[in-house]
Amino acid sequence: MLKASKFRLYPNKEQEELFLKHIGACRFTYNWALENKLKSYETEGKAVSRFTLNKMLPELKREYEWLKEINSQSLQGATLNLENAFTKFFREKKGFPKFKSRKNLVQSFSVPQNYKVDFEKNKIKIPKIGWVKVKIHRKYEGIEKTATISKTSTGKFYISILVDDEKEYPKKESFNEDTTIGVDVGIKDFAVFSNGKKVDNPKYLKNSIQRLKVLQKRLSKKQKGSKNREKARLAVAKLHEKIGNQRNDFQHKLSSELIGENQAIALETLNVDGMLKNHWLAQAISDSSWSFFVTKLEYKAEWTGKTILRIGTFEPSTKICNICGFHNSKITLKDRGWKCPLCGTFHDRDINAAINIKKFALQDQNLIGT
């Protein structure tokens, strides 16, 4: 299995400058490669390959002498990233590769090999940079693959090391109605389970929005290029980082709990992009960050042999009575509960949806009847 471990780096000033040079050089190489691909397609009708671009790098170094200070494999990693971006674009038909800017929130470069990690001294040796202090909070075992060094908008440096532990993914464990749980995500409650449990939505962005407005107003009044503007920008970035860390920690704990307690988890496939077009709910939906939560569930399920079940986007999980199957077409978003006219059962909107999500998923698996 491939797993990534992320650690905080503590470079000195000289090493920090070298990091920034590597980031800038890889960004430059990426943009140069993208420009060559576009020109080749316009003139010849086909894009130049990554291997051809790599053969052109020595000539590029002769033209730009400062590129010789950069690890050559990191520059080749930039062309690989561009190739992967085009592959993703052609597969998913969205997200055409764009030129990278130095104003991007996160800047990074990769080191494919020849780095060394000293767990005892909490140091890591990076080609062209040397030994850098690192906080290793967990040890890993396996074959080290590509390492990625990144710089956040708050000026912190991290290294993410991809490791192959040479283990196979565990076989999927069997599941049934008793070991499966349905999960309905929402705004008022972050998640509602088919067993009736509700998890409050922490709404980290909403709780910090007033402070964020104050800091952003201060930033807008600072003169561009001044030190005070940089201080104000850093204050805004730190608050955004804090909100992201809080949300990430909450989702990791909840996803680990769900994976640990159940053999299968049933989820509804949501059209988040479409839902974000509702400007009344867009901020609340973004604050909930359902997509990242589902991603955490999916890779943790792969690691532990659990199963993620998905039902279709248009399944009427909210409008169907989970007792008798009556379809209530009149229910609206403001209705938080409704009474079934056939069997007389009063339904909590979200709990009913979670139960139906579980039922629909198990019906698709032929584990329960209609």
Is 184 noted as a catalytic residue in this protein?
Answer: yes
Q: Tokens 């201080």 sit at which residue?
A: 231
Q: Whole-angstrom Cα distance, residue 15 to residue 325?
A: 65
Cβ atoms 221, 142 nearer than 8 A: no
> C-alpha dihedral over 212, 217, 221, 225, to 10 degrees?
30
Q: Whole-angstrom Cα distance, residue 71 to residue 226?
A: 33
Is 335 noted as a catalytic residue in this protein?
Answer: no
- The β-bridge relationship of strands 189-193 and 180-185 is antiparallel
Q: Which H/E stretch holds residue 198?
A: strand 198-200
How many CB atoms within 10 Å of residue 142? 16
Say which of 92, 189, 350, 364 is annotated catalytic: 350
Q: Whole-angstrom Cα distance, residue 142 to residue 167?
A: 9
DSSP assigned state of 154: T
Quick one: which of 354, 313, 365, 353 has its CA closest to 183?
354
Is 177 noted as a catalytic residue in this protein?
Answer: no
Report CA Rg, the chain.
25
Residues 6+ apart with CB under 8 A from 322: 347, 352, 355, 356, 359
In sequence order, what DSSP letters do the residues of 322-344 get, joined into one string?
A: TTT--B-TT--TT--EEE-TTT-
CA angle, residues 312, 96, 63, in degrees to nearest 5: 155
Say which of 120, 166, 184, 189 is annotated catalytic: 184
Cβ atoms 146, 112 nearer than 8 A: yes
Say which of 173, 230, 257, 268 is annotated catalytic: 268
Return the active site residues. 184, 268, 350
